[in-house]
């Protein structure tokens, strides 16, 4: 009986280990403080002041294959406030220290692609404005691509969430990152698990013959 219990325990522990190897999910939370309208801006020919803020999350390395990135926000008016997201392989310290740079994007005459090419080093993809980010909801940022993005496990990824607003507001942001590709379990682990089960089984057989 004790051998059956031992085999059961090994199976549970081994299955749990394999599950943990295959699963990868992290979650980050912060807040954009857009309450201080301190930066002068020109929006489609009209001058005024706006607030800007940015948060950065270090996603680290090891993201092999396809990655799912979900951005959740508290409610805000997309008539007065715009949020943007960028995934990069560069910490962009200069841009991170100057969130007002993103206020260039509130002017419809500014090319978003040109802006990111000029200001955001190592960007992988970006999303800006109400057409790509849902206010007060969850946006599947990577789900917008018709072809799945493949991520380099050796690259260190950084997620930036920037905001600009012409009306005072704070916005809670939540970022969930999931690995959609199972991480291959090393063959040695399988051999170890099956070998251990085999030894326990052999011991059980010997016990029955005594």
Q: What is the pLDDT of residue 194?
A: 55
- Give the pLDDT of residue 58: 96
Burial class (CB in 10 A: 0-12, 13-18, 19+), 151: buried
pLDDT for residue 208: 43
Residues in CB range of 160: below 8 A, 6 or more apart: 54, 55, 56, 84, 85, 86, 87, 88, 92, 95, 96, 120
Q: Are 145 and 87 found together in one domain?
A: yes
10 with 68, same domain? no
- Host domain of residue 189: 1-23+183-210
Q: Helix, strand, coil shares of the chain as percentages rounded to 5?
A: 30, 35, 30
* 190 and 162 co-located in one domain: no
CA distance 16 to 13: 5
The reported pLDDT for the residue numbered 161 is 96
Note the pLDDT of residue 110. 80
Q: Mean pLDDT in each 10-residue stretch from start to end of the chain (210 residues)?
A: 49 44 77 96 84 96 88 94 94 93 83 90 91 92 78 93 95 92 50 51 47
With beta carbons less than 8 A apart as the criterion, state whether 162 and 102 touch.
Answer: yes
**pLDDT value of position 146:** 65
Residues 16 and 83 in one domain: no
Same domain, 52 and 114: yes
Specify whether 13 is located in the same domain as 77.
Answer: no
Residue 46 confidence (pLDDT): 82
> Does 103 lie in the same domain as 10?
no
* pLDDT score, position 105: 86
Domain match, 6 and 79 both: no
Report d(CA 106, CA 129) in Å as an integer: 9
Spatial separation of the C-alpha atoms in residues 82 and 96, rounded to whole Å: 17
């Amino acid at each position: 009986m004790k051998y059956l219990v031992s085999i059961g325990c090994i199976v549970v522990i081994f299955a749990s280990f394999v599950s943990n190897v295959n699963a990868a999910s992290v979650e980050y939370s912060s807040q954009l403080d857009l309450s201080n309208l301190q930066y002068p801006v020109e929006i489609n020919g009209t001058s005024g002041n706006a607030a800007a803020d940015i948060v950065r999350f270090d996603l680290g390395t090891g993201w092999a294959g396809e990655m799912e990135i979900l951005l959740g926000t508290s409610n805000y008016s997309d008539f007065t406030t715009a949020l943007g997201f960028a995934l990069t392989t560069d910490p962009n310290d200069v841009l991170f220290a100057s969130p007002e740079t993103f206020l260039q994007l509130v002017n419809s005459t500014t090319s978003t692609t040109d802006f990111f090419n000029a200001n955001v080093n190592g960007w992988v993809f970006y999303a800006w404005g109400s057409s790509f980010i849902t206010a007060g909801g969850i946006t599947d940022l990577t789900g917008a691509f018709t072809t799945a993005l493949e991520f380099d496990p050796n690259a260190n990824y950084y997620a930036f969430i920037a905001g600009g607003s012409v009306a005072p507001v704070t916005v809670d942001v939540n970022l969930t990152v999931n690995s959609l590709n199972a991480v291959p379990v090393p063959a040695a682990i399988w051999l170890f698990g099956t070998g251990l089960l085999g030894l326990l089984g052999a011991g059980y057989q010997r016990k029955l013959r005594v």
